Structure 1
């Protein structure tokens, strides 16, 4: 809003924050429409900002009406997928631009925290994640994880349990813990159901799939499909799961040395989607390519390896990429710092260089 005032000091800004009790009277579409019209300027450009708009009943009806006024430039934010439903898209008839806001990237985290690009900074990012509010609290485990657990509770109870009238809340939380412990592993709803049955929890695969979709709709996790590199098609079953915010995952499950490879893979995935790549897991015969990232018709193939100190790891990670027959870029991302030759044109890039776009 400050930028708008710098460019147009006479502009009229209307700000509504549904988390502020000052706006509790705005409960439905009519309330929203009336409030905006009452505060419009008839002579200047009007910029309307509505935060947590999903808290307003039938808000899309008000938006459709307000968009008829050419003097209004309208911006809305929301913290769940309510804003992305096909019903809302249909009602607005294409008169909107959707911008998904992800957790902070590594470079954004450095800027927010006003710290340098060091190994310690990377460890903090991998442990605490990229929620912007972290800049206001001490980056200490007991402080950050308590804050993140509260954020997690808000997401689960407001955006999932209440919104979808979920009854089996113990299973929902058990599913979240299962996914937290298995980030980057390929699972189908049936495999998850079978595993939970072995833990004395009986729930049908279709119910597992429904709960997974709830978690994805609340932006707690990302569900990533597998792509057949040779057949050029998506597989219908078997996905990987990554957390939108690794800090929340670590607050729930713990930040454990044996999980660093998984966490690293999650960090790479989050970086790609934050930079507008469409990401799938690649399947090439019996081999797996960690990520096929595509943007503007161009692809990049990525393998993620914690370390390349063992010959068998080098053969596996580079060998899988060498089997791909097209000429799109291919790379192996590792925690090792290395500056030297490629293997058959495939470079080894350390994680910090990748996250700071030095590749």
Structure 2
């Protein structure tokens, strides 16, 4: 790799700061003496979160020459071999021989594209700087092997598309307002958010056709670059169809065996093992997040059919095109993403399926902390009975009486025949913690 090119990239990035950015709710930590890792789906705002750190450092008087930023999404840098990564440090030291490396803030964007990157970062941490930030679009960048290589030093700051509170901030809606006019704007913002999702670039784009074009581009990049190229996959059209099938099955347990049968019936050839692998890869790149069926038996949990949730409702709509009567599915997806954001290190999220169903079982440590049903509307008596009965069955199975039903815009309190209290709350209130 030509060090002159590396130097030009370092200098170019230094000249671009500070950048004009909207802040996210949770800023990245500074001065922790840990390697800060920022995993997350493509285009969700990982780079922007790191750029905010740079903006703040410059505001505090840090010389921009002390910022070392390298993006491995660069067409030429992505071809680097692991033994060439040291050229980055050599190039920087040649540019600024008087700057102590311990005073340098290092930012490596999409570094997981370089095989063996973790050992390079560990060397930097040991011998040069304690101010290291790394982002990546693949969950395996923080697999057990890499955590072992980094010996417990990473601090993980996983990033998702915008939360509803962040969406309101980006849209200029006062999420803290309590006047009726404020609440009307919040409700309207929620309906938009439930449809278009939270990718920052999409949220800040006004033209609906342009939004769809951007999201279709995201999907194609995930498909071709993050899956096909990264995992050396063939059978692209079968893979595309398979991902769409998982998306269309949103909110339901997904049988890969059944999808395999469907693919075979269409005259297409793919092994069942490949489909299991592909589903895992799609989760690794954060296209999907999955949860198992709740059981007190670990064996049953591991063997259950998972539910797959999509990282963004807008992405799903752009791929499948908006489906009729799909608001409830998208609402459940929105609720899951927020549960995933709010989870603590000891939290686990399941679904419950017995005679009835309960959408979410939230376990905190060894205790079941909450049971949640999600439905767009509860005015229909049959729907109301189904949601309540599913909650009660799950409550009896888990010994949890913290029961919640999240709807599009209904508020209620239900006392069941056996004295249990079920709180019914509009999604927009729950998402904002109101």
Fold shared by both chains (TM-score > 0.5): yes
Matched, 1:246 2:300: no
| Map 1:35-74 → 2, pairs under 5 A | 35=91, 37-38=93-94, 39=96, 41-42=99-100, 45-69=103-127, 71-74=129-132
Please give the alpha-carbon distance, in whole angstroms, between the structure 2 residues aligned to 1:216 and 1:338.
34
Rounded Cα–Cα distance in structure 2 between residues aligned with 1:147 and 1:355 = 26
- 2:268 partner SS: coil
By how many angstroms is 1:331 displaced? 0.3
Q: 1:322 aligns with which of 378, 392, 395?
A: 392
- Correspondent of 1:18 among 51, 64, 72: 72
The answer for the alignment partner of 1:258 in structure 2 is 325
Does residue 279 (structure 1) correspond to residue 330 (structure 2)? The answer is no
3-state DSSP class of the match of 1:187?
coil
Report if the CA contact (8 A) 2:78-2:113 is conserved.
Answer: no
Per-residue deviation at 1:141? 2.3
1:23 to partner: Cα distance:
6.3
Give the counterpart of 1:83 among 141, 145, 159: 141
Q: Does 1:32 align with 2:88?
A: yes
CA deviations 1:291-323 (Å, max 9, x no partner) are 112346662111111211122222221222223
* 1:333 Cα offset (Å): 0.8
Q: 1:35 to 1:329 in 2, by over 3 A?
A: farther
Q: CA deviation at 1:176?
A: 1.2
Structure 2 residue corresponding to 1:100, chosen from 140, 158, 164? 158
1:224 to 284, 291, 302: 291
Higher relative contact order (CA 8 A, sep 6+): 2
Q: Paired residue for 1:124?
A: 192
How far apart, CA to CA, are the structure 1 residues paired with 2:144 and 2:389?
Answer: 42
Alignment counterpart, residue 289 of structure 1, candidates 358, 362, 369:
358
Distance 1:340 1:170 in 2: 49
Q: Aligned partners of 2:313, 2:63: CA distance in 1, in Å?
A: 42
Aligned-residue offset at 1:201: 3.3
Q: 1:91 to 1:254 in 2, by over 3 A?
A: same
How many residue pairs match? The answer is 356
Match of 2:410 in 1: 337
2:171 to 89, 113, 117: 113
**Is contact 1:280–1:291 with CA below 8 Å preserved after alignment?**
yes
Using the TM superposition, give the Cα deviation of residue 235 of structure 1 relative to its aligned residue in structure 2, in angstroms: 4.0
What is the CA-CA distance between 1:46 and the residue it aligns to? 2.6
Query: Are 1:192 and 1:205, in contact at CA under 8 Å, matched by a contact in 2?
Result: no
The 10-residue stretch of structure 1 (40-49 or 63-72) with the greater mean CA deviation from structure 2: 40-49
Describe the SS at the equivalent of 2:250: coil
User: Of residues 304, 307, 312 in structure 1, which corresponds to 2:382?
Assistant: 312
CA RMSD of aligned residues (A): 2.7
Given that 2:246 and 2:254 are in contact with CA atoms closer than 8 Å, whether structure 1 keeps it comes out as no
Tell me if structure 1 keeps the 8 A contact 2:357–2:391.
Answer: no
| Structure 1 residues 158 and 25, CA gap change in structure 2 (3 angstroms) | closer
- In structure 1, runs of 5+ residues without a counterpart are none
- Unaligned runs of 5+ residues in structure 2 are 1-53, 175-184
Q: Could you tell me which residue of structure 1 aligns to residue 205 of structure 2? A: 137
Contact 2:256–2:272 (8 Å) recurs in 1:
yes
What is the TM-score normalised by the length of structure 1?
Answer: 0.89
